[in-house]
Amino acid sequence: MTAGTTGNETWWALKSGGEEALLKLYNEHYIGLVNYGTQLVHDRELAVECFTELLIDLWDKRDRLPMVENVRSYLLSCMRRAILHKIKSAQRRQEKEQQLSHMEATYEASYEERLQAVQMDEARKRRLLDSFEKLTPRQQELLKLRYFDNLSYEAIAEKCNISIRTTYNIIHNALKSLRQDLDASGAREQLPPLPVLLVFILMHYLAQ
């Protein structure tokens, strides 16, 4: 009986669920396939791992295995595919690890940037509040009525029992003082328009 015939019989036995056939394949092809794998990747440990996984795969799919003329040639092809798959999987895993590291680094950087932005906003807020607190109580009151309560000049004049002209002058002078103070500190160009800031300031005071 030739080696090819013996190999085919072992293959048939494996397809039929014979555990002894799997052991026979192991004994007959371990050295040859592991040496072949080692030549491909120069890593004997990886070659042994691939050979072991190949046998497990053959057993799991034993009832679906194709009929082959040359078992050794078929196993060599399977071994080569197993090694290539292992290498590609390792490369993909490495790429994913690198992507994850990059994402983590990016997140940490963006977190630091957000933290810095918040700190800068706090500094700007403080400068803005300082400027607002330099206004007279009357100026602060009318700015609140105009920009937070959204009252017209006429409504403010009536509410405060002053003329519309006086209302306009107080608000105008208050805004002018704010602009000048913020310009002097170099903060105004970094901030939104004054009406928006005033709403923010007034919300701050009302929350206290």
Residues ≥6 apart with Cβ < 8 Å to 4:
69, 70, 71
Q: Of 88, 84, 67, whose CA–CA distance to 15 is shortest?
A: 67
**How many beta carbons lie within 10 A of that of residue 103, not counting itself?**
10
**Is 3-96 in CATH node 3.30.1490?**
no
Q: Where in the chain is the domain with CATH 1.10.1740?
A: 3-96
Per-residue pLDDT 10s for the chain (208 aa) are: 444 455 678 888 888 887 888 888 888 899 999 999 999 888 888 888 889 888 888 888 888 888 888 999 999 999 999 888 888 877 777 776 666 555 545 444 454 554 454 444 666 667 777 888 888 999 989 888 887 777 888 899 999 999 888 888 888 888 888 888 877 766 545 544 555 556 556 555 555 5
Total-model pTM: 0.44
Q: What is residue 117's predicted lDDT score, i.e. its pLDDT? A: 44
Q: Where in the chain is the domain with CATH 1.10.10.10?
A: 134-207
Instruction: Tell me the H-state helices in the chain.
Output: 3-15, 19-41, 44-60, 71-133, 137-143, 153-160, 164-185, 194-207
Q: What is residue 174's predicted lDDT score, i.e. its pLDDT? A: 85
Residues ≥6 apart with Cβ < 8 Å to 176:
none
Q: What is residue 115's predicted lDDT score, i.e. its pLDDT? A: 45
Q: What is residue 199's predicted lDDT score, i.e. its pLDDT? A: 56
Record: fold of 134-207 = Arc Repressor Mutant, subunit A (1.10.10)
Q: What is the pLDDT of residues 154-203, one digit of tens each?
A: 899 999 999 888 888 888 888 888 888 877 766 545 544 555 556 556 55
